[in-house]
Amino acid sequence: MNKIVIANWKMNPQTKKEAEQLFKAFLSKDQKLNKNKVIICPSLPHLFISQKLKNKKVLLGAQNVSTENEGAYTGEVSPKMLKDMGVNYVIVGHSERRKIGEDDETINKKILNLLKYKMIPILCVGEKKRDHDGFYLSYVREQIKSCLFGVSSSNIKNIIIAYEPIWAISSNKGTEATVSEFTEMKIFIKKTLSDLYNEKTAHNILIIYGGSVNSINAKPFLEEGGADGLLVGRDSLNIKKFFSILETIK
């Protein structure tokens, strides 16, 4: 099965020239992409690379979007603006956005807004820590229920869910998640979606993994863990490391 690999550049690189060089490096190795779907999510000032997107193997995503469509919202960017730049995928609910105050209600509004414009939200969910009593499971379940509130069964198929355990993110100096920990959560997420919608619908929703993804752990998460793809942060800025990850996908 083909996989989805998302490159989240975060607030990098720092110049237009560096962004162009990094993007050109992606395109120079496009023969290695095979049939996998690769989505680059640069920072907003670097969305100009969409003008150079003539290669259908590399798709464009964004790291954030407003809850509003237009108006007096200083510093915000609307779904329509992003779509006009060639963006079809948008990361919502990333742990780094939640850390600065974004809550499930706000994320839900963003998702509903994106769906109106037929754009694909990449919804990030994940617990801050694991406990022996299993409270982290109910934490993730409530995230999913709140963020997907009002999303119809016909629209849920257009959402990608990224499981992103906050305790496993390298910027938090966390420990790496194991394949079995991801597998457990994937099953749980599918069960939650089945309860919200139905088993058939839940089966068709893509669940990807994000959390200190690298060329060593990528293959186990994809093959043993059954991840439908990967959300790559730091290693997406290093073309050699990123394509090492892609090369693990058969």
Give yes or no for a contact between 125 and 140, defined as CB atoms under 8 angstroms apart: yes
Work out the angle at residue 235's Cα, subtended by the Cα atoms of residues 233 and 236, and round it to the nearest 5 degrees. Answer: 70
Secondary structure of residue 216 in the 3-state scheme: coil
Residues 6+ apart with CB under 8 A from 232: 5, 6, 7, 8, 210, 213, 242, 245
CA 147, distance to chain mean position in Å, is 14
203 is catalytic: no
Catalytic residue among 96, 102, 127, 164: 164
> Among 165, 159, 143, which Cα is nearest to 89's?
159
94 is catalytic: yes
Work out the angle at residue 182's Cα, subtended by the Cα atoms of residues 179 and 183, and round it to the nearest 5 degrees. Answer: 85
CA distance 154 to 152: 5
Single-letter amino acid code for the residue at 101: G
Encoded tokens for 14: 């720092």
Q: How many CB atoms lie within 10 A of CB 108?
A: 21
CA distance 166 to 31: 33
Encoded tokens for 191: 């069960």
Catalytic residue among 94, 96, 102, 127: 94
Residues 6+ apart with CB under 8 A from 228: 1, 3, 4, 160, 206, 207, 208
Q: Catalytic residue positions?
A: 94, 164
